[in-house]
Every structure is written in structure tokens, then in C-alpha cells.
Amino acid sequence: MSRQKILEQINHNRDAWSIIPSVIKNDAGKPEFEMLLANAEMNDPGTASLNFRETRCGGFEYASRAFLHAHLQPGDLFIDVGAHFGLYTLTAAKKFPGKVKVIAIEPHPANLKRLHLWCDFNQCLEDVKIAQCAASSRSGQSELIQNSSMGHSLVPQPGNRSQGKTLTVRVETLDNIVRTAEFMKSKERIFLKIDTEGNELATLTGALELLKTGRVAAIIWEKGHFHNSKQGIKEFSAIMNLLRDLGYDSYRFPHEDMGGALVPYAPSHELCNVISLDRSLSPQQVYKQPWTPHSVMSAGMRPPVSENFMISFTEELIKEKKTDCGRWARWNMLGNEADLRAGMAGQLVPEGSSVLDAGAGMMLLRDYIPESCTYTPLDIVARNRHTLIADLNQQQFPDHDFDVVCALFLLEFIHEPQLFLDWAFTNSEKLILIYHPFLPGSNPKQRRAAGIFNDFSRDQLESMARQSGWKNVTSTDITFGQASFECIK
């Protein structure tokens, strides 16, 4: 059916349908594609989430789509496993119309109808091969457990998630699907997205022939609720081992609907998309994002854990020198006494200074520095339009000079703070730190439970500052076990 005929049918019943523009724009500044959603299906949690996040926030899973959009090139092949209505399929097919091929794999009949409709409406059906099946480790049939339109699964889900009647569907290996589509022996570079609600290991197991060709540059896959279950933890570990053995390095974004820094992935309790890259593909330091409100990730995306779990997780981050980036994308986890730290530091900033707030968090410092100062936040996610985005544990230090650099409750979470102190000395005239010194008799495990990476005493930190070149280093106790450090050249 042509786009014009679809529009004519919609116009006969305008109150029943919504046309949703993609947040991703083409070179002319217009949405690259449009989505059709029936107003009657807004009670479906998956559809409602897609609509809200695409129209009111930064975009549904914008970060992963921005990654795909940034790296996809003409002549590439995109494979969308668990295509749903076709959001990722259209993101790929419309980046370079007619120049990117897509295989979209979806088992549920209702979702397939919408997938066909979206491709027809956006005039790219000829570039998309649709496989009506679920991807798994074998060929045959299986029972699909029905849930939200985005939650259908071959795998029973843990917790209190509602699970409806089962539906018998065809299952096929990804290797056979690609072979049938006549892409197994071709030369296209491949981007692979997998969202199979807990069936990710079986999907990858059924794609080993494809993965061993060396053509799969990146895999976007979901760590979901299932992977926090007893069986899911085992399968998740197997996925990570498999991808590592195949030569992939894994990353994630701090927030699912924002762009920003792509951060080396550390397995944790948090649910997110994981992006595994073949070492032939280098990630960008920053992926652009539209400046819009971003959705608040539900508490279930970062479930509570025991103190012992948090200690082990922090120790693993220290070992791997990685960042708990998901923590810093949540406003409610930016640390206690932030207002006190900002007020104390603001008193030390001279009039007329250019100020960098490293690890800006809630950006409270800008309210305490003199009005004659200029303020620049630096963080792992964008706190405002002018934020410098960086993961300091990847030594992504800005190539700018400032009069004053402030690091308030930051060095606790830096694996190599000496490098930060060295950079600050080279790029500023004054450094203001607030840090929780390690006190004699304290238990390092308590700091690990709080996510803190290091245990410097006040004397040690002063010595480190002087080692970087700071001549005048003075420290002052403030309440709650914190100390401020003023460093001047």
C-alpha cells in the first residue's frame, strides 16, 4: 500500500491515529521517518512508553539509535532481531535511503502488521526483508509468552511482570535467516541489534557462523529483567564471555534516552542496552543528543542490592578502571550535602573567574560563585546545553583553559586522580577540591559500599597536589568527614 493510500485511510478516521515524527532528523532538519500509532493501543505499556519518550523526551532509546545513526554507512547491513514495530529498522533504512539493507525479525503477528505498515508508510519496504519468526539457537517451533507489545518472550520473565497466553511461533537461527536472505556470503559490514527479552544467549548461539565472519562491527543488545534472575545471571555471564572471546569490547550509555559518552561496560545489577564493538570500530567520545527533557528511568532499572554486592561491584570497577555511569545519570544519586560543598567552594572562587565544575552533578556551584564569573559544567551526561561531556576515567580531559577548576566529591570516583591533578595544573590557575579523607581506623569496605574507589588521607592528597606542581596547598576540615583543598600555582 502506498503512503498516499495509507494517509487517505487515516484521514477518514483522524481521531483514531497519531503520526509520530522521529526525533532523529535528516540533513534538511526534518524527521527521517514517521511512525503510526493507534490511539486505542496507548493502554499497552510498550506503545505508551514509545509514544511518550519519542514525543515528550529525548527519544525512545535515543542513545543506542544515535550510536547506530553515527556509524552506519552506505552499503552496510542492519539486522534487527526483535524488531517490534520497526523503530530501529527505520532508523537504519532511512539514514541513507536505498543504500542500507535491513533484515527485520519479529515473531508476533500484530507487531508484524505494524512493521509492514511503518515500512510502507515510509517508503522503504523494498530495502527491508522481514522474517516472521523468533531468533533462537535452533530451528522449529516454540511458545511465545505474550506480554506488552514490547515484552513478548520465549523465556518466562522473573518478578511480577504480567504474562499472558502463549502463542506458537516459528523459531529459526540467525545464521539460517541471514543465509535465506542471501547475505551470509556477501561482504557487507553488519550492525546487529538484539532485543529478545531474555533469549539473547540463544540468539547469539544461533549466530556463531555469522559472528565468525568478522563482518559484525557492533551488537546492540539488552540486559533485561531476566538477566537478574538466577538462570539469567548465568546466561549473562556466558554472553559476556562469548563476546569477549569473539573479540568484542562492551560499552554502555549512562542513560537510555540521552546521547553523551559511551562508557566501558562493567556488568552490574542495572538494566541497560549493552553495545559490543568489534575492535575495528572506534567509538566516538560524545554522541550528540537533542536538548529536550529526558525520561526518568524507573527504579526497577537499577534495583536495590545488598551492601556486600555493592562492595564487590565497586572492587570490580576498581580492578577494571571503569565508571558506574548509570549512577551519575540519576538525579537522586548525586550525593548528600551537595549544597554544602558548593557553598564552601564558591567562597574560594575569585571575582571574574572562568570556572570549570568537574563532575557538576546538580550544578549547584553556579549559584554560589560570584556573578561576574563564567560557569562551565563537565559531566558524564549533559546537565545543560553547555555541558562538556566526558568520562574522566577514560582520561577525556577537556582541551580548554580555566581560571579555576572545582572538583567537589569527584576524586573519590577517579581511578587515577594524579592524572586529573596534573591536567588541572596545566589548564588552570587554581584548583578547589572537596574530598572525604580516609581516617585512621576507618573501614575501607564502608567506602566501597558507598562506591568510593580510593582511600587517601589528607596528607596524601596534599602531597599528590604538590607532586602535580601546585605550590600553595591548604586544607580545611568541613563537616560530615569532608575536607576542602585550595591549590594555587
- Look up the CATH number of the domain holding residue 334: 3.40.50.150
Whether 466 contacts 441, CB under 8 Å: no
Residues 297 and 335 in one domain: no
Whether 372 contacts 412, CB under 8 Å: no
Domain that holds residue 475: 329-488
Q: Is 313 among the domain residues?
A: no
Please choose, from the candidates 206, 77, 185, the residue with its C-alpha nearest in 3D space to the C-alpha of residue 134: 206
Residues 374 and 299 in one domain: no
φ, ψ of residue 479 to 5 degrees: the values are -70, 170
Residue 26 CA neighbour count, 13 Å, CB half: 15
Q: Is 357 among the domain residues?
A: yes
* pLDDT for the residue 292: 74
Give how many domains the chain has, as a whole number. Answer: 2
* pLDDT for the residue 473: 95
Residues 349 and 422 in one domain: yes
Whether 108 contacts 115, CB under 8 Å: no
Q: In what order do the strands lie in the sheet with 482-488?
A: 388-389, 374-379, 354-358, 402-408, 428-435, 482-488, 472-478
Beta strands 166-173 and 134-136, pairing class: parallel
Cα-Cα-Cα-Cα torsion 108, 161, 330, 69, nearest 10 degrees, comes to -10
Residues 219 and 185 in one domain: yes
Q: Domain end: 255, 288, 304, which one?
A: 304
Q: What is the pLDDT of residues 259-304, one digit of tens each?
A: 889 999 999 999 999 999 999 999 999 998 777 777 777 888 899 9
Q: Say what angle helices 458-468 and 417-427 make with each other, to 10 degrees.
A: 50
Q: Say what angle helices 3-11 and 109-121 make with each other, to 10 degrees.
A: 110
All residue ranges of the chain with pLDDT < 70 are 160-163
Residues 49 and 100 in one domain: yes
Written as nine digits, the cell of 254 is: 549512562
Q: Domain end: 288, 304, 320, which one?
A: 304
- pTM for this prediction: 0.95
Chain centre distance of CA 134: 25
Kind and range of the H or E run holding 421: helix 417-427
CB atoms closer than 10 angstroms to residue 216? 22
Residues 290 and 340 in one domain: no
Q: What is the pLDDT of residues 16-52, one digit of tens each?
A: 899 999 999 988 999 999 999 999 989 999 999 999 9
Written as nine digits, the cell of 103 is: 533484515
Residues 11 and 137 in one domain: yes
Q: Is 310 among the domain residues?
A: no
Residues 144 and 199 in one domain: yes
Cα separation of 12 and 7, whole Å?
9
Residues 297 and 356 in one domain: no
Written as nine digits, the cell of 272 is: 541497560
* pLDDT for the residue 162: 59
* pLDDT for the residue 289: 76
Write down the number of H helices and E strands in the chain: 15, 20
* pLDDT for the residue 8: 85
Q: Is 89 among the domain residues?
A: yes
Q: Domain end: 249, 269, 304, which one?
A: 304
Residues 37 and 151 in one domain: yes
Written as nine digits, the cell of 489 is: 600555582
Q: Is 322 among the domain residues?
A: no
